Amino acid sequence: MSDALGYVRPVTTLTEAVAALAGLGDEGAALAGGTWVMRTAQRDGQRGPSGSIPDLRRYVALKWIPELGGYTATDEGINVGALLTHAELAGIDGGPAYACIRDAARKSAFPQVRNVATIGGNIAATGFAEADLIPALLAAQARLELAGPSGTVTVPIEEYLPERARRPYGELITRIHVPAPDGRSSAFERLTVRAAGEYPIVNVAVSVDTVSGVVTTARIAVGSVEPVARLCPDAAAQLVGRRAGDAAAATAAGEAAAAELNARESLDSPGWYRLAVLPPLLRRAVARIPATP
């Protein structure tokens, strides 16, 4: 490949994008909205003060690939293209199963970033513990459609996240499917130091399936505490068999979640503080789950 450093190759079909990325191998990367790519480069000191070329990889721009846009909503759920922005996700009325994703998209960052940052980029970004969509997608049991050199596969997001760096070159997240079974509802909460416009100390998503108002299965996912957001099965188990929105169950779930996570230390928050604010944040999220979806 003769692409210069900082060069961005525009492509207009998925096939072209997969072939270009496969050819570039470990020197290549996909460019969606670019917010994380540009910011990471700035943080890593690869950019001068007047704004020179911010990264040393060769990028393939996905913006003009129609297969990565749009969304469809059916009885089975919502299928969104990887290029949908946070602002677009926030505008979809996807019902109670999708509510945690809509609220994560709506509350994340601020307009200038929500208008640009995509769902595919949020899932693909590494080193981004605070990403708001990730716990929401985990709790909602999202499945990712991936197109690669050897075809298309569908992978649950919780399997994809830990193996992102080991996926084959040329593989792209194309669409995200969010199931919407009967009786499912969900909620999302995040805690920031300022009211808005910054990364969360903790973010949490809850999704429950109910029969006659009683929780039959539940998923709780927590972000910004560990390096990658993850499901908390011990916490979720505390909600099962109880009524949706039950405050005592929510308190037990919060304590269980704090016990099953190893909190990271960083300049914006010590680990103990993340774990201390997690239970009340989870209670708030559970309280917003409607008694009947």
Residues interacting with another protein, by CB under 8 A?
4-10, 31, 33-35, 37-39, 42-43, 47, 49-55, 59, 61, 63, 87, 109-113, 115-116, 195-198
Shortest distance (Å) from residue 7 CB to another protein: 6
Shortest distance (Å) from residue 5 CB to another protein: 8
Whose Cβ is closer to another protein: residue 90's or residue 214's? 90
Whose Cβ is closer to another protein: residue 29's or residue 155's? 29
Regarding beta strands 77-81 and 71-74, do their DSSP bridges make them parallel or antiparallel, or are they unpaired? antiparallel
> What's the helix, strand, coil split of the chain in %, to 5?
35, 25, 40
In whole angstroms, give the CA distance from residue 98 to residue 90: 10
Whose Cβ is closer to another protein: residue 109's or residue 239's? 109
Beta bridge partners of 155: 144
Specify the DSSP element, H or E, that contains 211: strand 202-211
Shortest distance (Å) from residue 39 CB to another protein: 5
Shortest distance (Å) from residue 81 CB to another protein: 16
Whose Cβ is closer to another protein: residue 88's or residue 246's? 88
3-state SS, residue 190 = strand
In whole angstroms, give the CA distance from residue 263 to residue 157: 21
Residue 34, CA distances (Å) to 24, 60, 89, 101 in order: 18, 11, 17, 21
Shortest distance (Å) from residue 281 CB to another protein: 19
Whose Cβ is closer to another protein: residue 87's or residue 214's? 87
Whose Cβ is closer to another protein: residue 130's or residue 209's? 130
Whose Cβ is closer to another protein: residue 79's or residue 192's? 192
Sign of the C-alpha dihedral computed for residues 76, 81, 82 and 87 taken in this order:
negative
Beta bridge partners of 190: 203
Shortest distance (Å) from residue 63 CB to another protein: 5
Question: Could you tell me the two tokens for 93?
Answer: 């009325």
Query: What type of residue sits at position 234?
Result: D
Residue 265: count of CB within 10 angstroms of its CB: 10
3-state SS, residue 155 = strand
Residues 6 and 63: beta-carbon distance below 8 Å: no
Question: Could you tell me the two tokens for 285?
Answer: 């999220």
Shortest distance (Å) from residue 85 CB to another protein: 9
